[in-house]
Structure formats: C-alpha cells, structure tokens
Amino acid sequence: VADFFVPFSGLVAQVAAIVVAGAVVAILLARWRLSMPVAVALVLAAIMLGLGVSSLWDTLPALDNFKSAALSRPPGVDARQLCFAQEGQQSVIPLETWAAAHMPPNGRYVVATPTPGLDFVCFAQNMLPRILEPTAASADYAVFMNGIPAPFNTEPRSGHLPLAVGHILVYSSSVGVARIN
C-alpha cells in the first residue's frame, strides 16, 4: 500500500506548495481582501504566464532538434519511405520502388518471400494503392524479395507489362514480381 502512495508524494507536495503560495499572496495583499480561490488563481496565472511564454519560444529550437534527429530523410528517401530507414531496412527501398513500378496500381499482391524482419505495414503503405492481400488465393501478384521459388526460378521470363499469368519480372536473382492469378 505504501508503495502505491509513494508516487503521489510529488504531486501532493506541488499542490500543497501552490495552496501555501496562495495563502501567502492573500496575506500580502490583505488590503484587497482576496479570497483563497482568487489568491490561488493569481499565483497560478503569474507562474504560468511568466514561465509559459519563455517555454513557448524554447520549444521551437527543441522541435528543430527533434526534426533533425528523428525525421530528417536520407538522400533519395521520401517521406513515406522513412519508416524503412528508421528500422534499418533502407535496402528494401529500391526493391519496393521497383516492385511498385512493375505492378499496376490496382494490383493485389502477396509478399511470398519477405526479407528478414520486413516491416509489412511500411511496405503496404508505400505500395498503395496496390493492396497487400492476406493470402495468395486472393492475390494477382506475388512479390519475391528473398529468393524466387519454383516454378518461377527455373527460367525467369522477364518480359513487358502487363504480365501474363505465370510470368515473372526479375530485379535480381532473388527479387521479382510474378503474376499468379
């Protein structure tokens, strides 16, 4: 029980300090006959206006630092692809860009062989409006990012868009986009 109440001690101390400050103000400004609520309100208004204004302006450089540290984009990475870079998956970006360029905008796909630790949401977000399907049965395309399985690996038939069913376009020996349905 004691452990539960320990965190509240800081809060209680701050509340008590404000009330005491209000009482002091009420005594010091006795000739205006301030009630306690008015005195506490005046104390809070003075504290918040005084410290708040400087804090407001300190925020701008802090935001700038935050922007540089967390949201700056490496060269060639657009705003939507930053999620790959943030998770150390920058190598996925060219594959994703290539896959999106080689699938029609209304394409429905599955990632048949994902790269280890692939961020599926980031991938799906960047592939929009192409839809990531939960299963191959409902998909038109399969994206291979980590090896191309049989039968597509036997004789890659890199051709032109639109792909016919069973055909594959390859980016490298382990990356390709195949029409499966």
Contact footprint for another protein (CB under 8 A):
3-4, 6-8, 10-11, 14-15, 17-19, 22, 29, 32, 34-38, 40-42, 44-49, 51-53, 55-57, 59-60, 62-64, 66-67, 70-73, 77-80, 82-83, 85-86, 108, 119-122, 124-125, 128-129, 131-134, 138
Question: Taking Cα atoms as reference points, which of 169, 180, 167, 160 lies closest to residue 110?
Answer: 180
Beta carbon of residue 53, minimum distance to another protein (angstroms, whole number): 6
Query: Residue 35 is encoded by which pair of tokens?
Result: 């009630």
What gap in Å lies between CA 180 and CA 149, rounded to an integer?
Answer: 13
Please, what's the b/e burial string for 133-144 (b: 16 or more CB within 10 A of its CB; e: otherwise)? beeeeebbbbbb
Between the two ends of the chain, the Cα-to-Cα distance in Å is 63
Q: Between 170 and 180, whose beta carbon lies closer to another protein? A: 180
Q: What's the closest the beta carbon of residue 156 comes to another protein, in angstroms?
A: 26
Residue number, 33 or 160, with CB nearest to another protein: 33
DSSP state of 173: T
- The least CB distance from residue 95 to another protein, in Å, is 17
* 17-35 CB burial, b ≥16 within 10 A, e <16: eeeebbeebbeeeeeeebe
For the CB of residue 132, give the shortest distance to another protein in the complex, in Å. 6
Based on CB atoms, which residue is closest to another protein, 17 or 101? 17
Decide the pairing of beta strands 168-172 and 141-144: unpaired
Give the shortest CB-170-to-another protein separation in angstroms: 24
Question: Is the CB of 90 or the CB of 153 nearer to another protein?
Answer: 90
